[in-house]
Structure 1
Amino acid sequence: MTAPGSTSPRETIRLDKWLWQARFFKTRALAASLASAGRIRVNGQRTDKPARAVGAGDVLTFPQAGNIRVIRVLACGERRGPASEAAALYEDLETPPPAGA
């Protein structure tokens, strides 16, 4: 049990691994290459490190399929599961424009 007022370390996961587990990219290598190219922002700051630690509360901004995605990490996740499980790992902060717009 933790003492009142103390904080336990926040659970984190590698950026590339989280993006892959949350099913934003088909392979972890794709997520890592996007991060290495400096095309991902974590809490508004550009990163070029696929191993950058992210956790609940972090906001990620990155391009995907011609759109800019802005999402908030809700959980780290345990594995790359089905899409329904992956959707519970994040909150979409921007709704994509309607098709044909």
Structure 2
Amino acid sequence: MPQQSDPSEEVRIDKWLWAARFFKTRSLARDAIAGGKVQYNSQRCKPSRTIELGAIIKVPMGYDLVEIEVLQIKHQRLSAPLARQMYQETAESEQLREKNAEARRLHAFHSPKPDHRPDKKQRRQIIQFKQQ
């Protein structure tokens, strides 16, 4: 288990999410928290909320909602491998992410993307087909 942080250190959740590299800037982290996209112990919170060891945080990452447990509290942005040691993803979250990724992969077979954009004649045919 990673080293424990100083318990007297208080860090805001927006600053911690930025330091743990979930968001590129603190303002993006603040906006996500204020918009209700981040949950702290299954509840909405404010960006000024101080974070505690062992807290469960749900953070949006791409198409998924990742559930993590806080292992370290740091206020400085670290390199990616060190930032990864600040938290641990729950087993349920990992399973759900894998299941959703598999569903997205299977869905891609049923809706293939064209190789190129349609030309003018093809666009007219598409418009005519849709208007029928």
Aligned length: 92
Q: 1:11-30 residue pairs with structure 2 within 5 A?
A: 11-30=9-28
Indicate the residue corresponding to 1:3 in structure 2. none
Indicate the residue corresponding to 1:87 in structure 2. 84
With structure 1 as the length reference, what TM-score do the two structures score?
0.81
Change in CA separation of 1:44 and 1:79 when aligned onto 2, cut-off 3 Å: same
- Cα distance in 2, alignment partners of residues 44 and 74 from structure 1: 17
- The structure number with the bigger radius of gyration is 2
Change in CA separation of 1:42 and 1:62 when aligned onto 2, cut-off 3 Å: same
Structure with greater helix percent: 2
CA RMSD, Structure 1 to Structure 2 (Å): 1.8
Indicate the residue corresponding to 1:63 in structure 2. 60
Structure with greater strand percent: 1
**Identity percentage over the alignment?**
36
Q: Which runs of 4+ in 1 moved over 6 A?
A: none
- Cα distance in 1, alignment partners of residues 20 and 79 from structure 2: 9
With structure 2 as the length reference, what TM-score do the two structures score?
0.63
